[in-house]
Chain A
Amino acid sequence: DAGVIQSPRHEVTEMGQEVTLRCKPISGHNSLFWYRQTMMRGLELLIYFNNNVPIDDSGMPEDRFSAKMPNASFSTLKIQPSEPRDSAVYFCASSSSLLPRQEILRQPQHFGDGTRLSIL
């Protein structure tokens, strides 16, 4: 079975440019999560969607970051304009909440391979 698919795997761009990261969750999963990982701050949840609706975006750093999920099989995380401090590994993860409540609790999140973003 295909796992969570992220693209691109690596992105190097100059500051000020728009960056778009893409994610395809596991088929049948209805929850999608965007994380950022840095040495300084560890793994941070940026935003998560349930049934394509943003549920919690309290981790989105600032207005330069935006995320969309136009359908169940695709999500984007956009940074505009990008800055060097945005350099990090960005992960997308998915899980299912289409289960009895106690089963939802034990569902792991399945991660993509991440996008390594470098802003020069």
Chain B
Amino acid sequence: AQKITQTQPGMFVQEKEAVTLDCTYDTSDPSYGLFWYKQPSSGEMIFLIYQGSYDQQNATEGRYSLNFQKARKSANLVISASQLGDSAMYFCAMREGLRRANFGNEKLTFGTGTRLTIIP
């Protein structure tokens, strides 16, 4: 079973509109973290925002916010007032809780990504 599912392979959004990128996850671990990364056409992977499973509030970072619905196991990324520079691939990733004493679960599991295109 996929641990991270991004069901939108591509999206087209008009500039200045808000956009929601979907991410659902699967874990039985009560402690986990969810990350969003942006990959522009230049290829680098840029960390955007983090949400912890025990965080009381939805994460926000500038124009980025997370719509975290724990019962539904979804962590959708919302970009407000989209800009042309937001055109990129967006990846959702999860790190499950650290069960071993010192290390072992630091790795991230990535979704397949959503290609977002902002239309002028």
> Chain B nearest CB: distance from A25 CB in Å?
13
* A97 and B95 form a contact (CB under 8 A): no
Q: For the complex, what is the distance from the CA of A98 to the CA of B109, rounded to whole Å?
A: 21
Name A105's contact: one of B44, B45, B97, B111 (CB within 8 Å): B97
* B107 and A33 form a contact (CB under 8 A): yes
- Tell me whether A12 is interfacial, beta carbon within 8 Å: no
Chain B minimum-CB-distance residue to A114: B43
30 contacts between A and B (CB under 8 A): A33-B108, A42-B110, A42-B111, A42-B112, A42-B113, A43-B91, A43-B110, A45-B107, A45-B108, A45-B109, A48-B106, A50-B103, A56-B104, A89-B43, A93-B45, A97-B102, A97-B103, A101-B98, A105-B31, A105-B95, A105-B98, A106-B33, A106-B52, A108-B35, A108-B50, A110-B47, A111-B45, A113-B44, A114-B43, A114-B45
Q: For the complex, what is the distance from the CA of A101 to the CA of B106, rounded to whole Å?
A: 10
- Tell me whether A109 is interfacial, beta carbon within 8 Å: yes
Q: For the complex, what is the distance from the CA of A97 to the CA of B114, rounded to whole Å?
A: 29
Chain A minimum-CB-distance residue to B103: A50
**B108 / chain A contacts, CB cutoff of 8 Å:** 33, 45, 109
Chain A minimum-CB-distance residue to B104: A55
**B35 / chain A contacts, CB cutoff of 8 Å:** 108
**A43 / chain B contacts, CB cutoff of 8 Å:** 91, 110, 113
Name B106's contact: one of A42, A97, A110, A114 (CB within 8 Å): A97
Chain A minimum-CB-distance residue to B52: A106
**A106 / chain B contacts, CB cutoff of 8 Å:** 33, 50, 52
Considering only residues 62-81 of chain B, those with a C-beta below 8 Å from chain A are none
- Tell me whether A120 is interfacial, beta carbon within 8 Å: no
* A113 and B106 form a contact (CB under 8 A): no
> Chain B nearest CB: distance from A53 CB in Å?
9
* A55 and B103 form a contact (CB under 8 A): yes
Closest 9 CB pairs of A and B: A111-B45, A108-B47, A50-B103, A43-B110, A105-B33, A42-B112, A113-B44, A101-B98, A31-B106
**A48 / chain B contacts, CB cutoff of 8 Å:** 106-107
**B44 / chain A contacts, CB cutoff of 8 Å:** 111, 113-114
**A104 / chain B contacts, CB cutoff of 8 Å:** 98, 106
